Amino acid sequence: MAVKSKSHEKLSFDNIEKVIGFLEQDNPITKKEACNILNIRYNTTRLQKILNEHEDTKQFRETRKNQNKGKAASRDEIRSVVQYYLDGENVSSIANSIYRSAAFVKNIVERLGVPQKLADSDYEGMRKSMLPEECVAEEFEYNEKVWYPRKNKFALVKAEITQLYQSQRAGYACYGNITKCINYEDKYGAKCYNVWVLEPCDTSQTLFPWVDGSKTGYHSCALAFELGSLRHLEEYL
């Protein structure tokens, strides 16, 4: 029978692996210390069940990996890799979830040109993030879903910011005078877009429970080379 996990408990695969390593070292930790690391109540019987189940899971994964070795990637596997990677899962974690090697996952990511979602705290990585060649596009269509590396999120293209667009909106300094509006293609060599950055949230407990939480976000502006096309991945998303 599988061990049930509570929300506060730290029973991730990596954390249990860490505990096993500590228990097997020359100067092992106590079982009470192991329970503290896993954030579970001190109970040696339950601790042993957790460790045994973990070992069973590892053996099962290894067996499945051996069975899959040499087999071509299925459509479902490719779809899982693309979606998990865009959700921010690392290569090792994805490999474990589909019973494949890390090299197998990395090959799919590189072959398809999947943009990487970084940790939300990796501000430096976001600033320097480079898009795969397959994601580069000179222009985008209305409501097209794109990847926005600088924000580390998906976004929807809402409008191209042309000189006419600027002159018709009061928020721009050149409102009413098209000759003073910026021509982004002349100035930066690329079109500029108004995008809606998607930042989904649970609205059920807010003052606006009727709002679709999957479409919440905020407006931003980006040049074409700052956005990543996902057209080449549409069949997997």
Nearest to 179 by CA among 192, 164, 169: 164
Q: Is residue 3 part of a domain?
A: no
Q: Are residues 134 and 224 in the same domain?
A: yes
Cα–Cα distance list, 158 to 56, 63, 170, 171 (Å): 50, 48, 17, 16
Q: What is the pLDDT of residues 29-80, one digit of tens each?
A: 999 999 999 999 999 999 999 999 999 988 888 888 888 888 999 999 999 9
The average pLDDT across 204-210 equals 71
Q: Is residue 117 part of a domain?
A: no
Nearest to 146 by CA among 225, 49, 43: 225
Nearest to 125 by CA among 106, 109, 148, 149: 149
Contact 165, 191 (CB under 8 A): no
| Environment class of 2 (CB within 10 Å of its CB; exposed 0-12, middle 13-18, buried 19+) | exposed
Q: What is the pLDDT of residues 164-179, one digit of tens each?
A: 999 999 889 999 999 9
CA atoms within 13 A on the CB side of 216: 13
Backbone dihedral angles phi then psi of residue 11, each to the nearest 5 degrees:
-105, 35
Q: Is residue 128 part of a domain?
A: yes
Q: Are residues 94 and 173 in the same domain?
A: no
The average pLDDT across 190-195 equals 97
| Mean pLDDT, the chain, integer | 89
Q: Are residues 100 and 192 in the same domain?
A: no
Q: Are residues 153 and 188 in the same domain?
A: yes
Count Cβ atoms below 10 Å from residue 181 Cβ, excluding itself: 20
Q: Are residues 167 and 83 in the same domain?
A: no
In whole angstroms, what separates CA 178 from the centre of its chain? 40
Q: Is residue 118 part of a domain?
A: no
pLDDT of residue 210: 72
2 pLDDT higher than 60? no
Q: Is residue 2 part of a domain?
A: no
Q: What is the pLDDT of residues 98-141, one digit of tens each?
A: 999 999 999 999 999 999 877 777 767 667 778 999 999 999 99
- Per the structure, the count of domains in the chain is 3
Contact 157, 140 (CB under 8 A): yes
Q: Are residues 135 and 173 in the same domain?
A: yes
* pTM metric for this prediction: 0.68
Q: Are residues 193 and 156 in the same domain?
A: yes
pLDDT of residue 66: 83
Q: Are residues 222 and 138 in the same domain?
A: yes
* Domain region containing 88: 75-112
Q: Are residues 134 and 231 in the same domain?
A: yes
Count Cβ atoms below 10 Å from residue 55 Cβ, excluding itself: 11
In whole angstroms, what separates CA 150 from the centre of its chain? 13
pLDDT of residue 16: 94
pLDDT of residue 3: 61
pLDDT of residue 130: 82
Q: Are residues 209 and 225 in the same domain?
A: yes
pLDDT bracket for residue 15 (50, 70, 90): very high
